[in-house]
Structure 1
Amino acid sequence: MDVNLRRLRSFVTVAEELHFTRAAARLFVAQQSLSKQIAQLEADLGTPLLQRTSRTVQLTPAGEAFLAATREALACFDQGVAEARRIGQGGQATLRVGFIVGAALELTTLILSEFTSRNPGARVELHEFGFTDPSAGLASATTDVAFIRLPSSTNGFVTTPLFTERCVVGVSTAHPLSDRERVSVQDLLDETLAIGRTDDTVWRDFWTLANQRGRSTQRLVETHSQSEEVEVVAAGMACNITPAAAQRYSPHPGVRFIPIDDYPGSVVAVAHRSNPLNPLVIAFAAAAKAVRDREPQILQMIQNAPVTRGLEP
C-alpha cells in the first residue's frame, strides 16, 4: 500500500480536531480537498476511519488503532529526517535514551560509559519517564532505545534482558506486616496497593498482583511519581509492590521492605523498536550486553541483594 505522508498528517489533524473545517484551516487547505484525502486514505485501507454526521466526527475503532500507528510512524520519520540532516551537515549523531526510575541500577553508568567509549562521535540524550509510560518513550517514538522493566507491553519491541530483580512489598512502619521477615502473595491480596497511573495493563496487573490466582486487586491508590508512591506508603494509605532496589534508591524512615517469597521477579532490559531508524540503537544494545556479560559480581549483588528492615526513624 502506497500512502503518502500528506494524507497521514491530514488524518492525524482531523483526528485531533474531530472537525473538518478546523482541520482544514490548520492545514491551510480547502475542506473539500481534505475530505477527498481522507476518503482516499480510507479507500486504500479498505475500512472507514471516521464516522461522520452533519454535526459530529468520531474515530472508528479502526481509526483509533490507525491513529496510534500513524503518530508513531510520523514521529519516527521526522526523527530520521532531522538526524540525517544533522549528520549530513557535519553534526553529531544523537541517541535518545529513555529510562524510568532506577534505569539499570548499578549497571547504568557502566553501560553509558561503554557506549560512549565505543562511539566517541555520538551524543547521548537521557530522558526520564514516570510510571505513566513504562516504555520510557519507545511507544511514542520519543526515544530510540530505553531501559525498561518487564513485564510490560512490548508489542513491536526487541528486548535484551540484563538481570532479574526480586520483588518486595513496601509497608508503613505501623503496618501489621512490618515486623515480618517475609510474606507471601496470599498475605497481600486484601491490602490496598499503590500503583502509578498508566494505560499499560500488563505493567499494572503485575504490580497490583492482579495476575495472581485469578484475583484482581480492587482497592488501589493511584500515584503520579515514585516519590509520591513512597509517601503514600509511609503514611499507611497503601502498600506497594516494588523492586528490591527501592531500598537502596528510595529509602524512607517510615517504610519497611519485606521480600515476597512466591512472586516472580522483575526483569530489567534494554529495549528498542524492531526496525530502528538510528544505527546507534544496535550499538547501544551491544554495549549493554557486553557490560552485562563482563560484570557477574555486580549482577550477583543486584539479584541477591539482602532486604533489611529499612532506615530507622
Structure 2
Amino acid sequence: MDLHTRKLRAFVVLAEELNFSRAAGRLFLAQQALSRVIREIEDEVGATLFTRTTRKVELTPAGEVFRDGALAALAALDRASAEARRREHTVSGVLHLGHTVGAALELTAPILSEFASRYPDVEVRSHEYPLDEPDSGLISGAADVSIIRLPDSTPDVDTVPLFTEPLVALVATSHRLSGRVSVRAAELLDDPVTLSELEDPARRDFWSLGGFRGPESPATVVTVGSVTEELQIVASGRAISITAAAATRFMPFPGVEYLPITDAPRSVVALAWVGGATPLVAHFVETALAVRDRETDLVSAIEHPHVRS
C-alpha cells in the first residue's frame, strides 16, 4: 500500500465533514474527484471506509480505525517536517568567550542571558584572562570573540565598541591628592604607575597617561600581575593606578581612593575577534549590540557614573 499524504488528508477532511460537497470545497476539488480519491483509498486499504446514501455519509467501523491511524500519521509527519525545518536553521556549537577583568560590567549578564535565549543550542564557555593577556585569548586562538579594552594592537583584530567610561586614578588615602573631588592628568605625572607586563605599546601609553607626557618624562612603572596585587601596591603608597571608573563599583579596597581624572581620554570597552567573524561570533556581536541599544539606562549609568572616593 502506497498512500501519499494528499490522499490521507482528503480522507481526513471527509471524515470530519461527512459531506462530500463541503469536504470537496475545503479541498478545492470537484466532488467527483473526491469520490474517486476515496474509492482509490478503499481499494488500497481493502476495506469500506464510508457508507454513503443520498441523505448522509458515515464512517464504518473500519473507517473509524483508519481515521485514527491517518490522523496520527499526518500529525507525526507534520512534527517531523517542522523539526527538520527548525534544525535546518538552528545555530549550534560552542562559543569561546574571552574577557578581561569585569568583562562588559553590568551589561555582561543581560548579554549572556539574551544570547542563551536566542541560541539555546549554543554553549558559551567564558574565560577571564589575567592583566598580562589584554587580548583575552585572541592571539592564541583560545577565544572566538573577546570583550577587551581598547586600545589594542593585536594583528588583524576587528572591534566594535560597546560603551566608554571615564578614567579614575587610584591613590592611597595617604597620597598628597587624597580627599580631592577630582584631579587633572598633569597632577599625576610624577607618580609611579602600576602596569602589567604588557607588550602592547599602545596600551602601555594609554594606561600611563602617555598623551600628557613628553619624551623627556616617561612613566615610572611598577609591574603588577593581578588586580589584587595592584590594589595592595596602591594602598601602600608605592604607586598610583590609572583605571576605568568601574573600579569604584567592582574593586573597593581599604586604604584606596578613586579620583576622577577630568581631562583624560575615556576607556573603550569593545567586542573583538580575529580573522573574520564566524557565524557564531556574528550572532554574539549582533546580540550584544542589541542588548546595549535596548538597555539605555544601564549604559548611561556605566558611561556617566557617580564616582565616590
* TM-score, length basis structure 1: 0.67
1: CA distance between counterparts of 2:93 and 2:263?
45
Residue 12 of structure 1 is matched in structure 2 by none
Secondary structure at the residue paired with 1:293? helix
CA contact (8 A) 1:209 1:217 kept: no
1: CA distance between counterparts of 2:290 and 2:157?
20
Residue type of the partner of 2:307? Answer: V
Q: CA deviation at 1:279?
A: 2.1
Measured against aligned partners, the alpha-carbon deviations of 1:94-125 in whole angstroms (never above 9, x if no partner) come to: 00000010100000011111111111101110
Residue 300 of structure 2 is matched in structure 1 by 300
CA contact (8 A) 1:98 1:146 kept: yes
Measured against aligned partners, the alpha-carbon deviations of 1:14-66 in whole angstroms (never above 9, x if no partner) come to: xxxxxxxxxxxxxxxxxxxxxxxxxxxxxxxxxxxxxxxxxxxxxxxxxxxxx
Measured against aligned partners, the alpha-carbon deviations of 1:123-143 in whole angstroms (never above 9, x if no partner) come to: 110111011111100111110
Residue type of the partner of 1:255? Answer: V
- Structure 2: give runs of 5+ residues left out of the alignment: 1-91
Secondary structure at the residue paired with 1:148? strand
> Does residue 234 of structure 1 match 2:238?
no
Secondary structure at the residue paired with 1:211? helix
2: CA distance between counterparts of 1:266 and 1:99?
15
Q: What count of residue pairs does the alignment treat as equivalent?
A: 218
Q: Percent identity?
A: 46
Residue 265 of structure 1 is matched in structure 2 by 266
Q: CA deviation at 1:218?
A: 3.5
Radius of gyration: which is bigger?
2
Residue 109 of structure 2 is matched in structure 1 by 109
1: CA distance between counterparts of 2:161 and 2:275?
15
CA contact (8 A) 1:167 1:244 kept: yes
Q: CA deviation at 1:210?
A: 2.1
Residue 131 of structure 2 is matched in structure 1 by 131
Secondary structure at the residue paired with 1:270? strand
Residue 119 of structure 1 is matched in structure 2 by 119
CA contact (8 A) 2:186 2:212 kept: no
Q: CA deviation at 1:217?
A: 3.0
Residue 225 of structure 1 is matched in structure 2 by 226
Residue 166 of structure 1 is matched in structure 2 by 166
CA contact (8 A) 1:150 1:267 kept: yes
Secondary structure at the residue paired with 2:148? strand
Residue type of the partner of 2:172? Answer: S
1: CA distance between counterparts of 2:218 and 2:288?
36
Q: CA deviation at 1:213?
A: 4.0
Measured against aligned partners, the alpha-carbon deviations of 1:159-189 in whole angstroms (never above 9, x if no partner) come to: 1111100000000000111121111111011
* TM-score, length basis structure 2: 0.68
2: CA distance between counterparts of 1:159 and 1:152?
10
Q: CA deviation at 1:265?
A: 0.6
- Structure 1: give runs of 5+ residues left out of the alignment: 1-91
2: CA distance between counterparts of 1:265 and 1:118?
32
1: CA distance between counterparts of 2:154 and 2:211?
17
Secondary structure at the residue paired with 1:120? coil
Secondary structure at the residue paired with 1:158? strand
Measured against aligned partners, the alpha-carbon deviations of 1:187-209 in whole angstroms (never above 9, x if no partner) come to: 01111111111111111111011
Secondary structure at the residue paired with 2:139? coil
Residue type of the partner of 1:120? Answer: P
CA contact (8 A) 1:190 1:217 kept: no
CA contact (8 A) 2:97 2:146 kept: yes
Equivalent residues in 2 for 1:146-161, closer than 5 Å = 146-161=146-161
